[in-house]
A and B are shown apart, each in its own frame.
Chain A
């Protein structure tokens, strides 16, 4: 079985660094692709633009999606993915600072697979990173190969 690939959609480079660091700390060594905007995220999953080459940029097995993104928002990314045949089965885990009801409602309406709030405390962040690795990359059984 091939190693799962994650796509991290996050515009804040510090958060990217933190996330990657925490994954490393909890021993998660999977390949992680980065998209720094909603547009980039959609390009990646639909294999457009510089992500055209599916060999180099294969479809991710898990998308970690921030909601607050410049331009196309995380909600729109989620919506596009969930209504497109190729991408709709890919598990999407929202990873955001927002606990707001409105955000949660939209995400679940669009069929998000999980909604996680980023803790401010780094120790708690490590707990979260471990949980993601354990659950989504180990315990959870993904959709069948297309």
Chain B
């Protein structure tokens, strides 16, 4: 071999080494080597190397050149994959075609065969890229160059002979070896990169794990095979109260003495391949409080895969546990209520979009009231079990509640011959979108009693009203019929007195005077009685009445009496409007004023004040006088009919006036009261509804 050949070989070798550089540049960094753009760029670079190799060829005979393209392309196929290989091979093919000569076709063949073998190796040996032994790389070199030898068979005879006699052997010795060396260099590069990456990753990972363990909201604890603590995170400190320094190297503090055995068994199970997954256990804190924890654990192994300890994750579920317990208790409470209450409850489900309603459940009281057993109705249609629900309107109501979501009250009554035979109160509400609850109570007994009572009360009231009417009409007729004889007594006694008293002896004339006077008194009594019994005989006509006008009317009616008594009547304030019966009000007021005008101290002129105030919608109208006053023991009695405190000689009167006042005011829904002391005048107050109320 000449010097030229040696130079070419050295150049080739150098170029081959650039492959390693390209590989490490493109494929071992954290560059996304799978991106098409990178593959194209690396393909072009590899193509350029291939071209450079081909440019540095040596000529065996004219048109027959040799270089290390087979080594380059075989390795490209193996290490770089399809796209870069295809680009590099295409560029080589184009160059070879341009170079021409008789070795062109076999040359192209070697290009294609080499790259194909490399790719075949990559994709069909199913090995991880870069994970190749030296022998394997050497074998690749051999196979690539066997194909090259095959291609060389197609050289023109002269060149072929020259090749096989001079070049074949050194090529077959050197080229596979070169392939192996360069391939090994790349593999080594890959391995180094991988090692570095793995190391880095390990550091990152363990840091991450440490952070997670440290900051996890759950307690993470590891123990060795003697069950002594090896790790104890912050959450564990917080959850149980022991600091990490207090527990490392010691048995788990939260497992109490009597739990040790159970704990040991549990750990053995875990080490035996049955880890705990969410068991609830009771542990305790440093200050003795109980903590309910949810536990997950798993065994830890050393590098050789031997058990080295256990780690556990503990979640504090004390609050949750308490809540669940409370929930269970309240569930129990309501269940018992439901079972024991005396009110029926039926839970129903609306099915087929309102086509039917079926029973989901009924409590014992419900079964008792309706006379069914729970088993026979569950899941059955409400209408099938109780055909009456449609007729009673209950079914319709249930559908209404289901549609509207508004609760309803639906009493169901049955009567036979006008007598109540059944009455149930039903309350329906929607529980869930398709569930209805009917709460029902059989109140037949209660309602029957009520109806009975009501009808009795009604009857009694009617009887009383009848008696009352009779009494009133009796009083009226009596006082009426009394008038006829009275008229005769008065009329004739008067005639006799007028015409014949001079004929009578003094005593007879005096007695006749008594008869006349008694007649007058009696006639006054009867008039009062008639007036009293007439109060309330006409229908009450409540309306807005001006108190001011009414008082003025009454005063002018009594004008004669006021003048006669030389009295003064003062209306002190503007009187409001009230809600009253005009004539009753007038009657009451007239009587009060009349009293005040009558019962004055002898020698004193009556001074009467009328005023009012308003309170809670009521008007208090007061008639105050400077009269003789009334002893407090008579304050109640004074309003009774015929009750008098004075003889007719002292003060005229019948004892009916105040009874009329009281009756009139009571009929209008009011009240009359009295404040008085003997010698200090009287204050009568009528309390009556204001016009606005």
| Pairwise interchain contact B483-A97, C-beta atoms closer than 8 A | yes
Kindly state the separation between the CA atoms of A12 and B485 in the bound complex, as whole angstroms.
9
Give the size of the chain A interface in residues (CB under 8 angstroms). 19
Nearest A-chain residue to B486, judged by Cβ: A120
**Among B165-173, B291-299, B490-498, B654-662, which stretch is in contact with chain A?**
B490-498
Measured between C-beta atoms, what is the minimum distance from B479 to chain A in Å?
A: 10
Task: Report the bound CA distance from A17 to B526 in whole Å.
Answer: 23
Tell which of A54-62, A79-87, A107-115, A121-129 binds the partner.
A121-129
A residues 86-141 near B (Cβ < 8 Å) are 97-101, 118-123, 125
> A21 at interface (Cβ–Cβ under 8 A)?
yes
Q: Is the CB of B492 within 8 A of A18?
A: yes
Residues of B within 8 Å of A120, CB to CB, are 483, 486-487, 490, 519, 523, 526-527
Is A1 at the interface (CB under 8 A from chain B)? no
Q: Which of B480, B491, B494, B520 contacts A97 (CB 8 A)?
A: B480
Is B154 at the interface (CB under 8 A from chain A)?
no
Q: Is B476's CB under 8 angstroms from A122's CB?
A: no
Of A12, A15, A97, A101, most buried by chain B (CB within 10 Å of CB) is A97
Does B488 reach chain A (CB closer than 8 Å)?
A: yes
Check if A15 sits within 8 Å of B487, measured CB to CB: yes
The answer to whether A15 and B484 touch across the interface, beta carbons within 8 angstroms, is yes
Q: Does A146 contact B (CB under 8 A)?
A: no
Q: Are A122 and B484 also in contact (CB < 8 A) when A100-B476, A101-B538 are?
A: no
Contact of B484 among A22, A97, A101 (CB under 8 A): A97
**Contact across chains for B484 and A12 when beta carbons are under 8 A apart:** yes
**Which residue in B476, B481, B488 is a CB contact (below 8 Å) of A18?**
B488
**Nearest chain B residue, comparing its CB with the CB of A99:** B530
Q: Which of A18, A97, A121, A122 has the most chain B CB within a 10 Å cutoff?
A: A122
Question: Which residues of A are found within 8 Å of B480, using beta-carbon distances?
Answer: 97-98, 100
Contacts of B530 in A (CB 8 A): 99
CB neighbours of A18 from chain B (8 A)? 487-488, 491-492
Q: A21-B495, A120-B523, A122-B494 are in contact. Are A12 and B488 (CB under 8 A)?
A: yes
Shortest Cβ gap from A137 to chain B (Å): 22
Contacts of A118 in B (CB 8 A): 483, 487
Q: Mark B457-489, 1 if CB is under 8 A from A, else 0.
A: 000000000000000000010001101111110
A120 to B488, CA, bound (A): 8
Inter-subunit contact B483/A121 (CB<8 Å): no
Q: Which residues of B contact A22 (CB under 8 A)?
A: 491
A17 to B494, CA, bound (A): 14
Residues on B with beta carbons closer than 8 Å to the beta carbon of A100: 476, 480
Minimum Cβ distance to chain B for residue A118 (Å): 6
**CB nearest neighbor in B for A14:** B488
A residues 7-51 near B (Cβ < 8 Å) are 12, 14-15, 17-18, 21-22
Contacting pair B538 A122 (CB below 8 A): no
Chain A residues, CB < 8 A from B519:
120
- A101 to B534: give the CA distance in the assembly, Å: 10
Query: Could you say which residues of chain A place their CB within 8 Å of the CB of B527?
Result: 120
Assembly CA distance A125 to B495 (angstroms): 12
Contact across chains for B483 and A125 when beta carbons are under 8 A apart: no
Give the complex CA separation of A44 and B538 in angstroms.
38
Residues in B with CB closer than 8 Å to A15 are 484, 487-488
Q: Are the C-beta atoms of A125 and B487 separated by less than 8 Å?
A: yes
Give the residues from 111 to 149 in chain B that come closer than 8 angstroms, CB to CB, to chain A: none
Q: Nearest 9 A-B pairs (CB), nearest first?
A: A14-B488, A122-B494, A122-B491, A120-B523, A18-B491, A97-B483, A120-B487, A120-B486, A120-B483
- On A, residues with C-beta under 8 Å from B are 12, 14-15, 17-18, 21-22, 97-101, 118-123, 125
What are 14 A-B residue pairs whose CB atoms fall within 8 Å in the complex? A14-B488, A14-B492, A15-B484, A21-B491, A97-B480, A97-B483, A99-B530, A101-B537, A101-B538, A120-B486, A120-B523, A120-B526, A121-B490, A122-B487
Inter-chain pairs besides A99-B530, A100-B476, A122-B495, 13 sampled, C-beta below 8 Å: A17-B492, A21-B491, A97-B484, A101-B538, A118-B483, A119-B487, A120-B487, A120-B527, A121-B520, A121-B523, A122-B494, A123-B494, A125-B491
